[in-house]
Each structure stands twice: as structure tokens, then as C-alpha cells.
Chains A and B, each alone.
Chain A
Amino acid sequence: MILTINHVTTYRYDAPMRAAVQSLRLFPSRFDGQRSIRWDVTVEGGTRGGSFRDGAGDKVEGWSMRGPVAEVSIAVAGQVETIDMAGVLRGHREIVPPFAYLRETVATWIDDAIETLAQEAAAGADDALDRAHRLSAAVAGAIAYAPGVTHAHTTAAEALELGEGVCQDHAHALIACARALDLPARYVSGYLYARDDGEPHEASHAWAEIWVDGIGWIGFDAANGCCPDERYIRLGSGLDAREAAPIKGIAMGAGEEKLDVTVALDAIQQ
């Protein structure tokens, strides 16, 4: 599938800011499941900084803006060819070992309810792969899709208690469950082309990856009850949503920030 993306994120400030700095993880991962045909990232009025590929294989690029800054507008325009890998992240070069993804974070803290959910879901599973699938199904069953109930800082434990959330909450809960069973897990951010099911979805998406010995990293999208296929574009990963965020930015000054995002994702060829 060839996916075309136009993604504009704009931060507007009610008072001009002294300066702004961004760290962008907005570039398609390199692995057997996707190939970038063209990809441009620009920050309007900004200065491009250094870029590098980090230990997890993600490309990161820094940007900065001198003040006065009234708005920061980050535009992504690109085209990616994807194929269905049944969620397996094959051919992805990275140096951080899976062990490093067993560490807990605030957002993925393992409380008793998560521990119980994980243990019960995995009981009787054949192997690690089976456990991972069961965990994903259990999280999908425990957290119903409901936008607006949770927020950016909701933890996995809180979402599970509420029983409602969005893709970020599903991913956090699945990661916490996997780590509770000593399965390395991480948060992945990207895009999902999901117009064909007739329901409105945000094209910006997130899911989890679980490490299974013998296979490697496998994506699990508990929110949609599937593994990532050719409709997904993978950008970057981290221990949780904060670490994997495609855009990290800071603006120095006293202004209040207002966020506006538009994403257009189209499939031009199937």
C-alpha cells in the first residue's frame, strides 16, 4: 500500500515566546514493512539542528526558533510504501537490548489490578507469543474505546480502573501487563490509515510492541484488536508515550499554548 501523509501540528501562543526548541521523532522507521518514498519535515521559520539515529533505531532531529515566537508550526509531508508483516518488526536495526524495556515508568506502573489482569490472561498460554496475544485481547476487553475520558497523563492503572480510554491508554496498559510477565514491551507512535471502516479515527496513532524471543519485536494494537499491517506507519518508540512522542518541544516565555493538529492520510494505491 502507498500511503500519503500531510500532518501539520501548530502551537499558538497568546503572548509571544522568547524562543522555542523541538526534538522531533517524526520520521518513518526503516524496516522490511515500510519504505519511505519521500518525507519532508519542516518547522516554519525554524532552524534545523543536528539529526541522528538513536539506539532504538529512531531518527531524531532538533529544531530551534528565535523569539519572538507567536506560533510553532511543524509540517510533515511524505509518502511511504508499506506491506503487511503481521506486526513483526523485521529488518529494523537497533542497539538497545530488549532487557532495557522491562523498566517501569509512571505511565506504565504495574499495580495489583494490572498484575492480576496479566496473570489471568496469560494462564494456560503455550508460549510467549501466545501470552502476548492473550494480553492484547485482555486489554482490549478491559478498556473500551472512549475518547475524552482520559488525558495525556492518565496512567495505565488509571485507565484500567476507568475501563475506558484511547489508543495511548490501550498501549500503556498492554505494556504494563507485558512487563508484569517479564516480557519486554515498548510504546510505538505512528499513523494509521483507517478510513475504510466507516468510522472516524484520528490518523495519529499509537500501539505497543512486545519482545518475543526467537521472533523479535511484534506490534500489538489492542485498541483495534489486531497487529499492525500495511495500514500502519511506524515512527518511533520509547518506554512510554512521553518518551516515544513524535514531537517534544518547549517554548520559553509566559504565553498560554493552544494546540491545533490536522492530519490527512490517504492511500493512493492498494
Chain B
Amino acid sequence: MTDFFNEMYDAGKVREPYARLEDWTKAMPAELRHLKQAEAEALFRRIGITFAVYGEGGDPDRLIPFDMFPRVFTQFEWRRLEKGIKQRARALNAFLLDVYGRGEIVKAGKIPARLVYQNEAYERAVAGFTPPRGIYSHIVGIDIVRTGADEFFVLEDNCRTPSGVSYMLENREIMMRMFPNIFRENRIEPVDGYADALRRTLASVAPAKCDREPTLAILTPGHFNSAYYEHSFLADLMGVELVEGADLFVEGGFCWMRTTEGPKKLDVIYRRIDDAFLDPLCFRPDSMLGVPGLMDVYRSGGVTICSAPGAGVADDKAIYTYVPDMVRFYLGEEPLLNNVPTWKCAREDDCKYVLENLGDLVVKEVHGSGGYGMLVGPKSTKDQIETFRVKITENPDNYIAQPTLALSTTPTFVEEGIAPRHVDLRPYCLVGEKIELVPGGLTRVALKEGSLVVNSSQGGGVKDTWVLAE
């Protein structure tokens, strides 16, 4: 384990951001810890925050495990991350506006045309349309891993509808309820401004036709969706309606919400359903979740959809490798946050290297998410590796590979006491009239000893994430 950067202990000494936490843990005997853990679980249950785990069967309302040991950043560390995240969010949006417009980055030969225009996530239906303020991705979730005191890498971008922000907010809420003392002893930046910031962001991209305080709503696929809790939670916090497709209709070039007082014009939809289900007239004709005619209203400027349909072309894993080029091309800056080195199996040389080094690499599907369909070479059996060898050989375009990153660890409460476990970070960057980032994010932790997969669908847990005030 000596190879991994431990965020609390460096060469046996406690690193500055964790200084006050050592006493806190020492003062907590095992019985109290178990008690607190049970209390936390009861609180989460009562709130109703659960996360369905796809493909594993069992309890769909399983709680995502919460680890009480916070993950801490100094103000200095955070400022650096913040700059890099905002820079990346700007570049991703510039890319989207470009590829649905003149496609300068493709013409300049920086990104192959095939990767953009033949990408399944490229929506011809929105080409030529400029959404309000030219923004496609209003909530950018950027997954970041740390490998050293000053080394951060972006693992992937989420430009469509990144989920998990409710955990960021609830984790903090619960920590403050259970351990008010440590919030007095540490000066921690608040995260509860997120809902206001999200509301401001959405309101700032109302269509030009909207001449009053914009009406906002969250569009959910319904309570069967694994993130339904989050949809209702955010609607509640922002004080906006939570609607399903059947609650909306189009007429006269606008989108209307059925209410008990009659139809109400809707200006901005924060949708938590995929493009394919938004409008059966434009996308999947069999979709019952969306609103027929919504895309015509959107394209003629009657309503804003966040994130914009088509935003997914920017967070595709094959496009990911070009994000540093986007930063240089559109912003004329050097990227502040680096990508993880990535081999594209679509390229013959890369594919050869990948096949020769499968045992050391992490292989991912280009369109996969949630930690499904991936191979972690060093943790896999020979059979698993051979299965992937066949898959990659049959369809190389579908795979990318990355080195097994030495993810940093933070102390985590485990059965035996406290032990280092690997973590990542997903901050939520809001892009509207301003680019905003609340100081914090969702820290996911791989609870299994030695595991590097932090996805909640693969047995990962979550932690409260602190940014210390100066």
C-alpha cells in the first residue's frame, strides 16, 4: 500500500488539512463509532435516500453506504482544482457549440470528423441551433482522481445529467447533525448554496421569448428511476415543480405544465431523462416518458432544455481524450487539469499495446458508464482477461484503456477500525450566466480493501467532502 498517496498521513505525519481530525477519531471509541454509524444509517433511511443497484438483484432500495470519516481539501488545493474544473467546463461547452455549428475544431484537424459526426450521441436534430447563451451543458460533473499531493487527473466528464449531488448535500447535512462539534472546530466552506446556484443557473438560460421571472421544472422519468429521490430532492430545494412527461404539453410554440389552476407556461426544463426519450416525434417513437412536440418548441426558442439535447457528444469516452486539445483550441490556454493517459483501441498501435498489456490496464467501453463492462487488469482472473481480449479484438472501436491509477486513499471507518481506502471526487460545475462551483463535491470511496472501483453500483460508498476556509 506504500505506493498510494494517503491524503491524511504523509511519511507518518498528519497532513495539514486533517490536523484536527486526528484528535476527533482518537476520542471516538469503537462502541460510539458503531452507534454513530447506526444513527447515520437510520437518518439516511428516514430521509429515503437510496440508490438502486443495477444488475445485482437484491434490494432495489439499498442504502448507499456512508462513511463518516470526511475527506478534506485545503483552500489552496481547492482553488487549483476549481480553476481547472471551470476551464474544462468552458472548453466542453465551446466544443458543443462548435460541433453543432461550423465545426471549426474538425476542420482544423484537431478531432477526427468520424468521432464527432458518426458518434451516436451526436444529434443531427439540434445542429445549427444556438441554445440561450450558447450553453449546452449546464451541469458538468467531472470525475477526478488524485495520485499525489499535487497530482490530479480527470477520469471522465459528465455533460448530460450527472447524478449524485443530493449525496453531497445530504452527507453534509447528516455530518453536521451528528458531529456538530467538529464543524465548530474546523472552518468548513458550506455547500448548501448549491440549490440556489442551480436555480440561478437555470433561470439565466431562459429563452429570449421569456419576458418575466422564468418558470422552471425538473422533468423526471418517474419514481422507478434509480435517481428519483434526487429529482424530487432538488425540486424541493429549489422550490420548483417536479414533472413527468404526461404533466406537460406543447401548444402555440410553447411548453405548458398542467396545474390545478390551469396550464402554466414553462420556460426552463431541467430534464433528468435521456435524449432518446425526450420527444417521440423526434427521437424514439415508442417513448412514453417524454413530451410529443417538445423538440420543435425547443428549436424554435419556446423553452430551454438543460442539459441541451446532444450534449452527450462531449462526454463520450472516445472524445474525452481530446478535451485537452479543446482547451487549447477554444481558450488558448494550457489545460490545468490533466487527462489520464488513454489508449484508443480504435488505433491499431494502441490496440496492439492494450492487448499485450491487458493484465496491467483498466479497459472501458467507450459508451459504458457506472463501472459496468470494464476490466481492471491487475484485479482480474485469467478468464476475465481472455474474455476481454476476444471482445476487444472483435470490436476495437468500442474500447479504450488506461493505466491502473494509483488512486489516493483517505482514512475510512471499517470493521477493524480505521483503514485507508481509495477515493475519487465528482464536483458539480454550474454553467449559466456565470460559471459556479460550490466548494465540495461527492467523494466516492471503494469500501473493499484494495479495490479501485468506487462506483456505487459496484459496492462503493460516499463521504462528506470538506474544503477548509482560510
Q: For the side of the interface on B, what is the size category?
A: 35 or more
Contacts of B116 in A (CB 8 A): 99
Among listed A49-57, A158-166, A201-209, interface-contacting one = A49-57
Indicate whether A21 reaches chain B with its CB closer than 8 angstroms.
yes
Q: How far is the CA of A95 from the CA of B117 in the complex (A)?
A: 12
Shortest Cβ distance from A203 into chain B, in angstroms? 25
* Pick from B102, B113, B292, B302: contact of A99, CB under 8 Å: B113
Among listed B171-179, B248-256, B375-383, interface-contacting one = B248-256
Indicate whether A215 reaches chain B with its CB closer than 8 angstroms.
no
Indicate whether B5 reaches chain A with its CB closer than 8 angstroms.
no
A-B pairs with CB below 8 Å: how many? Answer: 107
Task: State the main secondary structure of chain B at its contact with A.
Answer: loop
B300/A96 in contact, CB under 8 A: no
Shortest Cβ distance from A108 into chain B, in angstroms? 14
A100/B292 in contact, CB under 8 A: no
Indicate whether B21 reaches chain A with its CB closer than 8 angstroms.
no
B113/A97 in contact, CB under 8 A: yes
Q: How far is the CA of A19 from the CA of B291 in the complex (A)?
A: 12
* Pick from B113, B118, B126, B296: contact of A49, CB under 8 Å: B296
**Chain B 93-128 against A: per-residue CB contact (8 Å), 1 yes, 0 no?**
000000011110010000001101110101011111
Contacts of B301 in A (CB 8 A): 50, 52
B252/A21 in contact, CB under 8 A: no
**Chain A 61-104 against B: per-residue CB contact (8 Å), 1 yes, 0 no?**
11010100000000000000000000000000011110110110
Q: How far is the CA of A238 from the CA of B297 in the complex (A)?
A: 20
Indicate whether A254 reaches chain B with its CB closer than 8 angstroms.
no
Nearest B residue (CB) for A249: B281
Shortest Cβ distance from A17 into chain B, in angstroms? 12
Shortest Cβ distance from B308 into chain A, in angstroms? 14
Indicate whether B299 reaches chain A with its CB closer than 8 angstroms.
yes
B113/A95 in contact, CB under 8 A: no
B126/A62 in contact, CB under 8 A: no
Indicate whether B438 reaches chain A with its CB closer than 8 angstroms.
no
Contacts of A250 in B (CB 8 A): 280-281, 292
Q: How far is the CA of A22 from the CA of B295 in the complex (A)?
A: 11
Nearest A residue (CB) for B249: A19
B252, B280, B281, B296: which has the most chain A beta carbons within 10 Å? B296
Contacts of A95 in B (CB 8 A): 101-102, 127-128
Sample (12) of A-B pairs whose CB atoms are under 8 Å apart:
A22-B281, A49-B296, A49-B302, A50-B254, A55-B100, A60-B296, A95-B102, A99-B113, A102-B118, A248-B281, A248-B282, A250-B280
Binding site for A on B (CB under 8 A): 100-103, 106, 113-114, 116-118, 120, 122, 124-129, 249-254, 280-282, 285, 292-293, 295-297, 299-302
What are the 7 tightest A-B residue pairs by CB atom distance, in nearest-first order?
A: A50-B300, A55-B127, A50-B253, A62-B296, A55-B128, A99-B117, A21-B293
Given contacts A48-B253, A239-B124, list 8 more A-B pairs with CB under 8 A.
Answer: A51-B296, A52-B299, A54-B128, A54-B299, A64-B250, A64-B251, A96-B127, A250-B292
